[in-house]
Structure formats: C-alpha cells, structure tokens
Amino acid sequence: MVKKRLLTAALVGGLVMAPFLSVQDGGVQAEEGNHELKILHTNDIHSTIDDLGKSAAYINAEREAAEHSLYLDAGDIFSGNPVVDLQEGEPLVHLLNEMNVDAMVIGNHEFDYGQEAFISNEALSNFPWLSANMEVVDPEFPIEQPDPYIIEDLGDFTVGILALTQAPPATAPAGIVGLEFHGYEETVEEYAYLKDEVDVLIGLTHIGYGDDQQLAEAFPDHFDLIVGGHTHTILDEPSVVAGTPIAQAGSNNRFVGNVTLEVDRDTKEVVSVDGHLQDVDELTETVPHIQDMIDAYNAEMDELLSQVIGYTNTGLSRDERYEMDAPLGNFWTDAMREYIDADIAVTNNGGIRANIEPGEITAGDIYTVEPFANEVMEIEMTGAAIKDVLEYSYNRSNQIDLQTSGLHYTVLTDEEGNLVDIEMEVGGEPIDYDETYTLAIPDFLGTGGSGYNFEGDVIQPGAGFMTNAMLDFADTFTSQDAPIDYTSEGRIAIELYEEEEDGTEPGKPGKPGKPDKPGKPDKPGKPDHAGQPGKPDFAGRP
C-alpha cells in the first residue's frame, strides 16, 4: 500500500465547488439554528490495539460534546499484530464493540483469516459490515450478502452511508471464493436513488485516495463527504474534489479523523465542512476498561507466540544462502507461491533473519525469521524481465541474493566471479523470454527496495503478509501429520562459465511451451482454511 502524507490546501485538481458549500479553515461556526454533525473516523487499524483506549476516550469526549455524531471505520481492521491475528481478529472486534462503532466498510484484509473467521467476526460485531459492490454469487457460499448502506435517523435530519470495498480485494484468493466485486462507478449509479432519500449522504470507502478522487470527479456534489481508507493517506484536513470533501486518517491508529458538517436547518443541505486529524500520541486520557482489555490481550502474547505450528527433522537453515538455495529459502518461497498460486516466487536473502532449528516450530519462529511485515505482491513479468532482475541480484555483490520457487537458475561466472550469463528453467525447461509468468515477490522488493526494478504488471500490490503465507503453508504439513523437512535442492547454483568450442557466447534459449504447473514441489495439499496472523507493530524493512 502507498503510504504518503498530504498537507492539503483543501482544493485539489478538478475542483468544482458547490455554491452552498464552504470548507472552513478553523472550527465550524454554525449559523444560529443550523445543525452540526460530527463524524469521527478511523481506517486501516491493522490490529494495532495498544492506544485504542486513548482513541476511545477522545472519540467519546467529542461525541458527548456534539449535537449529532457518528463513528465510522473505513476498513482493514485486521492483519498487523500477532496478539490479534493469532486469534483471527476476535480481540479487536471486542474492542471496537466497546468503542461504539456505527458502521464499517469491509476492507480487503477482513478476508485474511479465511471465510470461517470472516463469518465469526461479523457475527461477533455489534456494528454493521457494509459493502455495496460485494456480491455473494455462490448460493452455497457461507458468507451472507452484506448490506450496501444504512440510513441513520438523527431526528433533525437523516444520514445515508454507502460503502465500497476494493475491487478485487488484495488478499489470498481462498478468502474471496464465491464473491464478486463490482466497479465503483457502476455501483454508485445503482444506488443513486439514495441521494434523494436522505438529507446527508456519506461514502464510506476502502478503495484508496486516488479512486476516491476519481469517484468524486465522476459524481460531482453527489456525496456530502467521503470517508476513505486503504492507501494509508494522511489528510490533515478534508481535500475537496468536484465539490466533495474527502477524508482519510493514515493507518495503524496513529490518528483519529474529526470532521464536522454544518446542516442547514431549513433545507437540510450541508453548507460547510471542517475537519482535522487528532494525533493519538498527543492524547493522555484513556478508557480504563478498554485499556484493561488491551493489557490482558498483550499479556497473552507469549502464550500465543509459543503456539506450535509444525515439526521439522531437518531444521530450516538459511546458511549458505549466498551460494545456493537454502532450506529455509525453499520453504519460504514455496509458501509464497502456494499462497497466491503463482508460477514463480522469489524473496531476498536480506529478509531471512534467522534459522529454524530441528524440532517444534512455533508461531514465534515465523515472526523471528520474518520480522519486517513484508506483504506478498503479485506481478506478471516476462521471462526477459525476470532475467534482468536475476542479473541485478547477482551483480549487487557477486553472490546469490534471491531464493526461488518454481524457478531454477544457474549463475555462470568468469574466474574472478563476475557474471557472464544466467541460465533459467521453469518446470524443467528453459524459460521462455517472451512468455509472461505470474510471480509472488515481497512488496519491499516490488516497490524498489534494495534498488530492484521488477518490471511488469502488478496484479495485487499486497495479497497478504509473508508471515500469513508461511503459517498457512505450515498447516498443509501439520494437518497431514507431515514434518516440515527441507534441504538444499539444487534450485540455485553458481558455476564457472566455459566458452563453447566454437567460441560463441551464450545466448538466449528458444521458446518452449509453458508447463501447466511449473516446478511446484510435491508437498501436501492446502486445506480450505488456515489461520493467518499478520504483521507485528514493530516491524521494519530489511
């Protein structure tokens, strides 16, 4: 996900201001008799719970002082902290119930724990999970069709809240089987009648700031406010596009958004909008019983991380990863490839932070070897582009830097160890330079980390956390009572280049057909559902 800070001037390209609407620089000063609607909002909490007690105290105080108020969440409440994620989200739902959320749009990471957990968490919530563009298309599908919107009757006026989910959601495919996600504009058109049925219309979206802007331009003055999420954008005050204020509050409970709408007492139209972000670090008050809940959940951390997820006779070593394929690298990339059913997976050696010793494997071991919270990016690349990446990876330090699954490669060097050529095979056949392959890669690399340039078409910028992929993959072994045993398999080698007798330089191989299932090892099948913990709060980048 894109993470950026925007200090808005409240006017953005394409702005068409409605004649009645003004965006205030300071606090809203309603004309005598006009009504005020306070919207408190959060988005992309990502299982970050430590300061929710402070956020709750602030939200409660603001709502108590307001004439009318709503607390809305713009999705992605899950995946980001093992304290929450090893319990498949349940602790966070309990906390949000105590915070009196009025409505939440379904975000892509709400599917991360699988369909059974989605159903359980939605049932546990005392607030509605909304999505107007999500459709349950399989009649046998266990997830119920969500409500597209709600209407809140606040006495002096009514508020409609229409929700949009990222289409398609960036998550593991198994989580969204049986679902379809329709386009944003066609969905707004479908529910255009809602504008005439309510006094105030709010779009509650988890589609990203760029798509929120496009939506506002496509429907000028349709929404009185868009409360967004997904891109972790920090909007210090609402930006206005085509007469529509757009708000977003960063991520990970760092900010609480606070927007006030002034509603004309006679026409019931919104005549001014004011908003700002409250930095949670600056807050001191907390809600005692919510903080007690948080402290109790955190106290369970050691027990959760000691949960046994598998057993290995061989151990999973990262040793010799700079010379060849390492056992841990093989397990890791197999997990990534399986997670999104890719042709090829690669990960960088710098992100593999420890060995896993023979014996029991715990959830804590997975977070130890991958503490950076990298997500799995899905990208389509040609064979030629893949070779460019591999050449760069070796030339960085004249050593192996990428572990692989589904792809075997041999680095050919001169006597000084300098790169001469790279030979690649997919499914036992030379790679086709013109063919397109689906890759699973760390989003750290896919966004240019360590100078890499993965040239191709990004399908999913963040399909789920690397830790999720490994924990899911481990379950495919343990569910069948199989050990997680790996060795170096010859996927990667460095060899001295020997010039052909005719003196020709190495060239590109021909174009064999692409195999149906290239190079996947014979591993146990993946179950329909496995728990998927997410990234820890402290995670950094390799």
Q: pLDDT by residue (tens digit) across 414-464?
A: 999 999 999 999 999 999 999 999 999 999 899 888 889 999 999 998 898
First to last CA, the chain: 17
Determine the pLDDT at residue 397. Answer: 87
pLDDT at position 13 = 35
Query: For residues 451 and 258, which has the higher predicted lDDT (pLDDT)?
Result: 258
> Cα angle vertex 522, ends 519, 528, to 5°?
105
| Dihedrals phi, psi of 527, to nearest 5 degrees | -70, 170
**Residue 449 or residue 273, greater confidence:** 273
pLDDT confidence of 368, banded at 50, 70, 90?
confident
Cα–Cα distance measured from residue 286 to residue 55, given in angstroms and rounded to the nearest whole number: 7
The mean pLDDT of 248-261, rounded to a whole number, is 97
What CATH number labels 309-496? 3.90.780.10
Strand-strand pairing, 5-6 and 22-23: unpaired
Query: What confidence score (pLDDT) does residue 542 get?
Result: 35
Residue 76: exposure state from Cβ atoms within 10 A (0-12, 13-18, ≥19): buried
What pLDDT score does 97 carry? 98
Mean pLDDT in residue range 382-391: 97
Contact yes or no for 218/185 (Cβ under 8 A): yes
- CATH number, domain 35-298: 3.60.21.10
Residue 56, amino acid: A
Q: Give me the residue spans of the domains in the chain.
A: 35-298, 309-496
Radius of gyration, alpha carbons of the chain: 26
Q: How far is it, in rounded angstroms, from Cα 108 to Cα 172?
A: 9
pLDDT digits (tens, 9 = 90+) for 73-97: 999 999 878 888 888 899 999 999 9
C-alpha 150/C-alpha 248 separation (Å) is 20
pLDDT of 7 above 70: no
Give the CA diameter of the chain. 94
> How does pLDDT run across 493-528, given as a tens digit for each residue?
999 998 766 555 554 444 344 333 333 334 333 333
In contact, 121 and 89? CB cutoff 8 Å: yes
Confidence of residue 30 (pLDDT cuts 50, 70, 90): low
> CA angle, 415 as apex, 414 and 419 as ends, to 5°?
30
Poorest-pLDDT segment among 5-9, 23-27, 44-48: 5-9
State percent of the chain over pLDDT 90.
73
pLDDT band at residue 354 under the 50/70/90 scheme? confident
Q: What is the DSSP code (8-state) at residue 528?
A: S
Question: Do the domains spanning 35-298 and 309-496 agree at the CATH topology level?
Answer: no
Q: What is the mean pLDDT of residues 32-47?
A: 94
**Which pLDDT does position 505 carry in this prediction?**
52
- What pLDDT band is residue 312 in, cutting at 50, 70 and 90? very high
The confidence score (pLDDT) of residue 371 equals 72
**Bridge partners, 124 (sequence order):** none
